[in-house]
Amino acid sequence: MAAEATNKLRQVSGERPSFMMMLPDHIDRIMEIEALSFPTPWSRRAFLFELTENDFAFYIVAVINGRVVGYAGMWLVLDEAHITNVAIHPDFRGSGNGRALLTELLARAAVLGALRITLEVRVSNRAARDLYRSAGFIDMGIRRKYYSDNDEDAIIMCLSIPE
């Protein structure tokens, strides 16, 4: 309970996250956020693979007061980035941290040479869809029964980055 109250106070204080590359040391906290954010969370092994073996992977974490409060990742192949995941701990949602994290990821994608960014998002995830649209993403199509936990469709979204 005390930790929850502390988190709420952090949000009231208006502290903004800083960003850094995700490291294997962050995975314990990532796994906690992942479990709180998704019905079928990625495994620890999946994140370790992304960080240590996938040459196309690029992951960042959002940090407030030394604590990882969110993370985002993408695969970068030539001039196209594909966002794999974006998540903020529930205690830090609703105060612009997700928007700041997405903005940072998009900025890094542009610096790395991405001209187009794609992602999939659950049809039911209105908050994420609204966030992506506010960043300039547009709906490009549907992947039918994309999510294996409940056969939910995914909306394919895309953002073009001006050269």
> 87 has which bridge partners?
71
Confidence of residue 15 (pLDDT cuts 50, 70, 90): confident
| More confident call, 163 vs 101 | 101
Owner of token pair 């998002």: 121
- Proportion of the chain in helix, strand, coil states, percent, rounded to 5: 40, 35, 25
Q: Averaged over 40-53, what is the pLDDT? A: 96
Counting Cα atoms < 13 Å in the Cβ hemisphere of 140 gives 14
Set 120, 146, 147, 152: catalytic member: 120
What is the SS3 assignment for 28-91? HHHHHHHHHHCCCCCCHHHHHHHHHCCCCEEEEEEEECCEEEEEEEEEEECCEEEEEEEEECHH
Judge whether 147 counts as a catalytic residue.
Answer: no
Q: What percent of the chain has pLDDT over 70?
A: 91
Set 34, 50, 59, 132: catalytic member: 132
Judge whether 152 counts as a catalytic residue.
Answer: no
A 10 A CB-CB count for 68 gives 22
**At CB < 8 A and 24+ separation, what contacts does 72-79 make?**
72/101, 72/102, 72/104, 72/105, 73/22, 73/105, 74/105, 74/109, 74/117, 76/109, 76/112, 76/113, 76/114, 78/113, 79/113, 79/114, 79/115, 79/116
The CATH number of whichever domain residue 145 belongs to comes to: 3.40.630.30
Confidence of residue 14 (pLDDT cuts 50, 70, 90): low
pLDDT digits 0-9 by tens, 63-96:
999 999 999 999 999 999 999 999 999 999 999 9
Q: Averaged over 116-134, what is the pLDDT? A: 96
Count of structural domains, the chain: 1
Check residue 101 and give its pLDDT: 98
Q: Which of 30-34, 72-76, 147-151 has the lowest mean pLDDT?
A: 147-151
Domain that holds residue 68: 2-160
CA dist 112 and 160 (Å) reads 14
